[in-house]
C-alpha cells in the first residue's frame, strides 16, 4: 500500500499532457481535484476515475490513479459494476451536461436512485464542446448554435432538480472560478456515504464563453450568488443585503431593512428529510434569484453495494456458503446403475 | 370389475404433446411427466412452446401453450418431430397442433371445452371438428375433462372455477396410466408445492388419482404402452434446461477460479431465467445486478470485470443490438467477460418465445471497426454448463469478451444431465501477479497475446484504459497510424490464436463419405439423429458440428478439404453458410429454416437425400 499521508497534489498528476483548450474551466477543476485527493487519506491505488465521452471525460487520463474512459453517457453503469466487484474503492465519476443529462440521463437517474457510494461530478458548460458547439440539455431556450441557428426551442433541464428528483442523497453545486469552494465541496462529497452529486459551473472558452459571468464573475458574485452555509440565513449582496423569504409556497427575494424580522429569513438546512426545501433552492435561477452554491441536500440512506453485501452475508448465514455439489443436486435427482 | 381387454405394447420411444390455453398449466403437466419418466430411467428430451403473451385471450389460437416430451429406452437427441399422443384441452389447442399428430395417433380431447363459444374463438365457425369427420384418421378419445375433474375434486370443497383448474392433473393421470407411470413423484410434488394450502393440495391429488383410475376402470384406451429404461451411463442424474445449465456453469467457473460471480442483466425473453436462477444464489457469492437497460447491464459487467470479478451479462438478440458499442469497448480495453445471447426469432422484436440461430453474424461483425471477439455455441442443454466454464476459461486466458450463442430451443428444452464430479471440472487459472516495476498495461503474453489483468486496488499498477486507441505496450492514447494498424492486427491475431487451444472439429456419421453436413449450436440433436438414421437406412454421409464459431477449430480447413460436397444446415437465412463460403472459398448447398421451430429429422433426411443423389 502506498502511504497516503505522504502524498501530494503532484502524486496525482499523470505523465500525460493535458489537452483542453487554453483557458478551459476544466484546468481549474483538475487542479482542485488533484489538490483534494491527498486530503482524503485514501491510497491512490484505491481511487478510480470513471468517465463517459466529452471534453470533461478526458479527465481520467490526467489523474495518476486507476482510470476508465468508457462510452458516451454510460459511465454510471461501469461505476456500478466496479463498486459491486470491489465496494472498497473510492470511485469518482466525471461527466458533463451532454454526457450525463442527454445520452446518459437514464443511467444518471438510476445511479442516483441506487445510491452507490460514489462521487459524480457533472461539468456543466451548457454546450457541446467536443463536437464543436451544438446546444446541450442545459442550454437556455433560444440559444443560437450551429445546430440551432434560429435558437433552441427546448426547455433546459436543471441538473440539481434532476438529481433531487432522482432521490440523490447528496446534491451540491460549485463553480470553476472558485478553487477554494470547489475543494471544500469535493471534500464534503467524498465524506458523504452514498452517491454524491456535484454540479460544477464550467466555462467553455471556445463555444460558450463566459456563460456564467453574469452569476460568478468577481464583480457580481456577491450580489448574484448565495454561498450556502449550514445554519446561516439565505442572504446575498455586499452593500445592500438581499434575503430569501418564503411567501406561501413561493421563495421571494427582498431587500433587508431595519424593519426586517431576521427570524422570517429562510435558514439553510441541508439535512432536512423532506426534499421540498432543497427544491426551493434548486429553483432559484438567474436572473430572478441569486444562485445558490454549496450543499443543497445531504441525507443518510443505505448504499447499494452495502445492501448487496448484506444479502450475501445473510444468505450465507442462513444456508451456509454455497457448495457446487449442492447446487448440482438441487431439485429432483435419480440414479442410474 | 370387468376383465381387462387392453393390450400392452412395449415401445423404444414415445412422444407426447400437451396443449391447452396458456392458463391451463400445460408446461407444468409436461414437466411432471418429464420428471417421472426421467426417474424411471428413460432418456428424455423436451420442447416447450409457449406464446409471448402472458395471457392471450382465453380460447384463441395465439394463446395456446404446448409442451412436447419424448422419452425413450434408447439414446435420443431430439424431442421428436411429431407427437404420437396429443392432449388438447380446447378447440384452439386442437387447431394449433393437430397437423403435427402422426397419422393414426392418439388424440385426447377435453370434450367439455368444445362449446359454441370456444369453437368460435378458435375460428372453427359452426363446425365442430369432433363431429365433422375431419379427425377420422386419428384414434380420438373424447373425455368431459372439466366435468369429471369437478366431480372428482368435489370433496375438497373448492369453488367451481378453482375445481376446474385441476383438470391438468386429471389429464396427467390419464397419460400416466396410458404409459404405465407411477403417480408417487407427482403426488409428492403437489404436497410440497401446495404445502400451505391443504384444499388445493387435496384437490390436485384427487384429480391426478381420478384421471388415472378413470383410464384404468373405464378402459378408455384400447392399448397401453411401456417404455423401458434407457441404457444411460451410471451416475446421478437430474433434468436440466439450457438456461439452468448455463447459470450453473457460470457459478461453477467462478468457484473453480476462486472468484466472485457478477451477472448484470436486463430482463428479456428467453434469457431472463438465467437471471432468476442466479439471483437466488447469493450464498454462492453471486452478485446479480438488474440494470436499467441492456447497455447498463453490459456496462456494469465490464466495470465488474475491470474490478477483478468473473463478470457475465445475458440477453437475447435485441439486447445485443443495444450492447454492441460496449462490446466494442470490451474488445478495445481487452477485458475478460462473458456475453450470453439466448437467440430468438428476429429481426427486431421478432418472435420472442420462438427459437432461431440468426445472431451469428451479428455477434461476429455487428460492431464498428474491426472488432473481433471469441464466439462459442453449446450443442445441447447440458452442454450450456460446460460451455459457460469454457467461455470464462477463454475470456481470462486471452483477456477478451466471449459470446455464448445459446437459443430458445436449448434454453427451455430439458434433458437428463449426469451430475459431474467436482474433480472432473476443468481448471481455470487466473493471475493478477504483476510486478509494478515492469508493468505496462498493454504488454502481452508472448503465447496468448493477452495483456495483464491489473485490477484497481493493486498498488503501483495505476493506469488508464478506455475506448480510444491505445499505444502498444504503454497503453496511452494514440493516433499514430502505424500503431493503429499494429493494434488492429494484434487484436485479430489474439482471437485467431485461440483456434489452437480448442478441441478439433470432429467428424460424426460416416467419415469416409463424400458429403459433409455442417451445422452449429442448438441443432446438434436433430442433425445427429438425422445423420445416424440416414446412414442406418443405407445412406452415406458425414457431419461436423461447430461449437466454436470464432475462431473455427484449427483443423476446419483440413476437414472441409476431405469432402466433395458441403451441406450447411442452420436455423437462419445462411449465416454459417456465408462464413464457410467466404473463409474457405467452398461452394455449398444449404438447408435454411426460419419458422421459429427446430429442425425436424424428417426434413433433414429429405434434404440429405436430395443432395446426395
Which ipTM was obtained for this model? 0.97
- CATH classification code of B507-612: 3.40.50.920
Instruction: Say whether A106 and B296 touch across the interface (CB within 8 A).
Output: yes
Which residue of A1, A81, A329 is in closest CB contact with B299?
A81
The CATH number of residue A176's host domain is 3.40.50.970
pLDDT for the residue numbered B56: 80
Give which of B185, B276, B279, B462 to mutate to test A binding, by max A Cβ within 10 Å. Answer: B462
Nearest-Cα distance to chain B for A235, in Å, is 41
Q: CA neighbours within 13 Å on the CB side: how many for B20?
A: 24
pLDDT for the residue numbered B527: 97
A151: in domain: yes
Cell numbers that stand for B608 in this block: 440429405
Contacts of A1 in chain B (CB under 8 A): 459
Beta strands B85-88 and B106-110, pairing class: parallel
The stretches in chain B having pLDDT less than 70 are 1-6, 613
pTM for the whole structure: 0.94
The separation between the first and the last C-alpha atoms of chain B, rounded to the nearest angstrom, is 59
The separation between the first and the last C-alpha atoms of chain A, rounded to the nearest angstrom, is 56
Beta strands B43-49 and B64-72, pairing class: antiparallel
Beta strands A196-201 and B401-407, pairing class: unpaired
A238: in domain: no
Other CB atoms within a 10 A radius of the CB of residue B82 amount to 18
pLDDT for the residue numbered B2: 44
pLDDT for the residue numbered A5: 56
A141: in domain: yes
Contacts of B308 in chain A (CB under 8 A): 85-86
Whole-Å CA distances, A337 to B41, B179, B182, B233, B240: 10, 23, 20, 8, 20
Contacts of A312 in chain B (CB under 8 A): 282-283, 285, 287
Which residue of A81, A320, A334 is in closest CB contact with B283?
A320
The domain locations on chain B are 7-224, 238-424, 507-612
Q: How many domains does chain A have?
A: 1
Nearest chain B residue (CA) to A312: B282
Instruction: Say whether A66 and B462 touch across the interface (CB within 8 A).
Output: yes
Buried b (16+ CB within 10 A) or exposed e, B28-61: bbbbbbbbbbbbbbbbbbbbbbbbbeeebeebbb
CA distance A320 to B124: 57
Same fold, B238-424 and B507-612: yes
A274: in domain: no
pLDDT for the residue numbered B50: 81
3-state secondary structure B433-462: CCCCCCCCCECCCCCCCCCCCCCCCCCCCC
Cα dihedral A185, A191, A192, A198 in deg (nearest 10): 20
Q: Where are the beta strands (DSSP E) in B371-521?
A: 374-376, 401-407, 414-418, 464-466, 507-509, 515-520
Cell numbers that stand for A133 in this block: 458547439
Nearest chain A residue (CA) to B421: A325
Which residue of A81, A320, A336 is in closest CB contact with B264?
A81
The boundaries of the domain holding residue A196 are 4-229+289-305
CATH architecture of B238-424: 3-Layer(aba) Sandwich (3.40)
Give which of A2, A84, A118 to mutate to test B binding, by max B Cβ within 10 Å. Answer: A84
CA distance A236 to A284: 13
Specify whether the CB–CB gap between B277 and B244 falls below 8 A: yes
Instruction: Say whether B287 and A65 touch across the interface (CB within 8 A).
Output: no
Q: Can you give the length of chain A in residues?
A: 337
A266: in domain: no
pLDDT in tens, B282-337: 999 999 999 999 999 999 999 999 999 999 999 999 999 999 999 999 999 999 99
CA distance A148 to A137: 13
B7-224, CATH topology level: Pyruvate-ferredoxin Oxidoreductase; domain 3 (3.40.920)
| pLDDT tens, residue order, chain A (337 aa) | 445 458 999 999 999 999 999 999 999 999 999 999 999 999 999 999 999 999 999 999 999 999 999 999 999 999 999 999 999 999 999 999 999 999 999 999 999 999 999 999 999 999 999 999 999 999 999 999 999 999 999 999 999 999 999 999 999 999 999 999 999 999 999 999 999 999 999 999 999 999 999 999 999 999 999 999 999 999 999 988 999 999 988 899 999 999 999 899 999 999 999 999 999 999 999 999 999 999 999 999 999 999 999 999 999 999 999 999 999 998 888 888 7
A260: in domain: no
Amino acid at each position: 500500500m502506498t502511504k497516503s499521508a505522504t502524498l501530494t497534489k503532484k502524486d496525482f498528476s499523470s505523465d500525460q499532457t493535458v489537452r483542453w483548450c487554453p483557458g478551459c474551466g476544466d484546468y481549474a477543476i483538475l487542479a482542485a481535484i488533484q489538490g483534494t485527493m491527498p486530503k482524503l487519506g485514501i491510497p491512490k491505488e484505491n481511487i478510480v476515475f470513471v468517465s463517459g465521452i466529452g471534453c470533461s471525460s478526458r479527465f481520467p487520463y490526467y489523474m495518476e490513479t486507476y482510470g476508465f474512459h468508457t462510452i458516451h453517457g454510460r459511465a454510471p453503469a461501469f461505476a456500478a459494476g466496479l463498486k459491486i466487484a470491489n465496494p472498497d474503492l473510492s470511485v469518482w465519476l466525471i461527466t458533463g451536461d451532454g454526457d450525463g443529462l442527454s445520452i446518459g440521463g437514464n443511467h444518471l437517474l438510476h445511479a442516483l436512485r441506487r445510491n452507490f457510494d460514489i462521487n459524480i461530478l457533472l461539468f456543466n458548460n451548457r454546450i457541446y464542446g467536443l463536437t464543436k458547439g451544438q446546444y446541450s440539455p442545459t442550454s437556455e431556450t433560444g440559444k443560437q448554435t450551429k445546430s440551432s441557428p434560429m435558437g433552441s426551442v427546448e426547455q433546459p433541464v436543471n441538473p440539481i432538480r434532476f438529481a433531487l428528483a432522482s432521490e440523490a442523497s447528496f446534491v451540491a453545486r460549485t463553480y470553476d472560478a472558485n478553487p477554494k469552494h470547489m475543494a471544500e465541496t469535493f471534500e464534503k462529497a467524498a465524506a458523504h456515504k452514498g452517491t454524491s452529486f456535484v454540479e460544477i459551473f464550467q466555462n467553455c472558452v471556445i463555444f460558450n464563453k463566459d456563460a456564467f459571468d453574469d452569476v460568478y464573475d468577481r464583480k457580481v458574485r456577491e450580489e448574484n450568488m448565495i454561498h450556502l452555509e449550514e445554519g446561516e440565513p439565505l442572504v446575498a449582496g455586499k452593500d445592500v443585503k438581499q434575503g430569501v423569504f418564503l411567501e406561501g409556497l413561493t421563495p421571494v427575494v427582498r431587500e433587508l431593512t431595519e424593519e426586517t424580522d431576521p427570524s422570517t429569513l429562510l435558514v439553510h438546512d441541508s439535512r432536512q428529510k423532506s426534499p421540498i426545501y432543497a427544491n426551493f433552492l434548486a429553483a432559484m435561477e438567474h436572473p430572478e434569484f441569486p444562485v445558490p452554491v454549496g450543499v443543497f441536500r445531504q441525507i443518510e440512506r443505505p448504499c447499494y453495494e452495502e445492501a448487496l453485501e448484506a444479502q450475501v452475508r445473510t444468505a450465507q448465514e442462513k444456508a451456509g456458503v454455497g457448495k457446487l455439489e449442492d447446487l448440482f443436486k438441487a431439485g429432483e435427482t435419480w440414479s442410474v446403475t | 370389475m370387468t376383465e381387462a381387454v387392453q393390450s400392452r405394447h412395449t415401445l423404444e420411444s414415445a412422444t407426447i404433446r400437451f396443449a391447452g390455453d396458456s392458463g391451463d398449466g400445460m408446461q407444468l403437466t409436461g414437466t411432471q411427466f418429464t420428471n417421472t419418466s426421467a426417474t424411471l430411467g428413460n432418456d428424455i428430451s423436451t420442447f416447450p412452446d409457449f406464446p409471448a403473451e402472458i395471457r392471450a385471450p382465453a380460447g384463441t389460437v395465439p394463446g395456446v401453450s404446448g409442451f412436447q416430451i419424448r422419452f425413450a429406452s434408447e439414446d435420443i437427441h431430439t424431442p421428436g418431430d411429431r407427437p404420437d399422443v396429443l392432449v388438447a384441452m380446447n378447440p384452439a389447442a386442437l387447431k394449433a397442433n393437430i397437423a403435427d399428430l402422426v397419422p393414426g395417433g392418439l388424440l385426447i380431447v377435453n370434450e367439455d371445452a368444445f362449446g359454441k363459444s370456444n369453437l368460435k374463438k378458435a375460428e372453427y365457425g359452426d363446425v365442430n371438428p369432433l363431429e365433422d369427420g375431419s379427425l377420422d384418421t386419428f384414434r380420438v378419445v373424447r373425455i368431459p375433462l372439466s366435468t369429471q375433474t369437478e366431480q372428482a375434486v368435489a370433496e375438497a370443497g373448492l369453488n367451481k372455477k378453482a375445481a376446474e383448474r385441476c383438470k391438468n392433473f386429471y389429464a396427467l393421470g390419464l397419460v400416466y396410466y396410458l404409459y404405465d407411470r407411477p403417480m408417487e413423484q407427482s403426488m409428492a410434488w403437489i404436497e410440497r408445492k401446495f404445502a400451505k394450502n391443504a384444499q388445493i393440495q387435496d384437490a390436485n391429488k384427487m384429480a391426478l388419482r381420478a384421471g388415472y383410475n378413470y383410464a384404468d376402470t373405464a378402459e378408455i384406451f384400447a392399448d397401453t404402452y411401456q417404455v423401458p429404461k434407457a441404457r444411460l451411463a451410471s451416475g446421478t442424474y437430474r433434468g436440466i434446461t439450457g438456461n439452468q445449465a448455463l447459470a450453473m456453469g457460470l457459478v461453477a467457473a467462478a468457484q473453480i477460479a476462486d472468484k466472485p460471480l457478477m451477472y448484470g442483466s436486463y430482463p428479456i425473453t428467453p434469457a431472463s431465467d438465467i437471471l432468476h436462477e442466479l439471483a437466488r444464489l447469493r450464498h454462492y457469492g453471486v452478485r446479480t445486478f438488474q440494470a436499467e437497460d441492456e447497455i447498463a447491464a453490459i456496462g456494469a459487467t465490464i466495470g465488474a470485470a475491470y474490478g477483478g470479478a468473473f463478470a457475465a451479462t445475458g440477453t437475447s438478440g435485441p439486447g445485443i443490438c443495444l450492447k454492441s458499442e460496449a462490446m466494442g469497448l470490451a474488445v478495445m480495453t481487452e477485458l475478460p467477460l462473458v456475453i450470453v445471447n439466448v437467440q430468438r426469432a428476429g429481426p427486431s422484436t421478432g418472435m420472442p418465445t420462438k427459437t432461431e440461430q440468426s445472431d451469428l453474424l451479428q455477434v461476429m461483425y455487428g460492431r464498428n471497426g474491426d472488432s473481433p471477439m471469441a464466439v462459442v455455441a453449446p450443442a445441447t442443454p447440458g452442454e450450456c454448463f460446460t460451455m459457460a466454464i469454457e467461455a470464462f476459461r477463454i475470456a481470462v486466458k486471452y483477456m477478451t469478451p466471449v459470446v455464448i450463442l445459446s437459443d430458445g430451443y436449448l434454453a427451455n428444452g430439458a434433458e437428463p444431465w449426469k451430475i459431474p464430479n467436482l474433480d472432473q471440472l476443468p481448471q481455470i487459472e487466473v493471475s493478477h501477479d504483476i510486478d509494478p516495476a515492469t508493468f505496462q498495461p498493454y504488454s502481452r503474453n508472448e503465447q496468448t497475446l493477452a495483456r495483464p489483468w491489473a485490477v484497481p486496488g493493486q498498488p503501483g499498477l495505476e493506469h488508464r484504459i478506455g475506448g480510444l486507441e491505445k499505444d502498444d505496450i504503454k497503453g496511452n492514447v494514440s493516433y499514430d497510424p502505424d500503431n493503429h494498424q499494429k493494434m488492429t492486427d494484434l487484436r485479430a491475431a489474439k482471437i485467431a490464436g485461440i483456434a489452437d487451444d480448442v478441441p478439433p472439429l470432429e467428424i460424426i456419421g460416416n467419415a469416409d463419405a463424400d458429403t459433409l453436413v455442417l451445422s452449429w449450436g442448438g441443432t446438434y440433436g436433430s442433425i445427429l439423429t438425422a445423420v445416424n438414421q440416414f446412414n442406418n437406412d443405407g445412406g452415406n454421409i458425414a457431419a461436423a458440428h461447430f461449437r466454436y464459431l470464432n475462431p473455427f477449430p484449427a483443423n476446419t480447413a483440413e476437414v472441409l478439404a476431405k469432402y466433395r460436397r458441403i451441406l450447411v444446415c442452420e436455423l437462419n437465412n445462411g449465416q454459417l453458410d456465408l462464413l464457410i463460403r467466404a473463409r474457405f472459398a467452398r461452394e455449398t448447398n444449404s438447408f435454411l429454416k426460419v419458422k421459429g421451430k427446430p429442425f425436424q429429422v424428417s426434413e433433414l433426411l429429405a434434404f440429405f437425400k436430395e443432395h446426395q443423389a
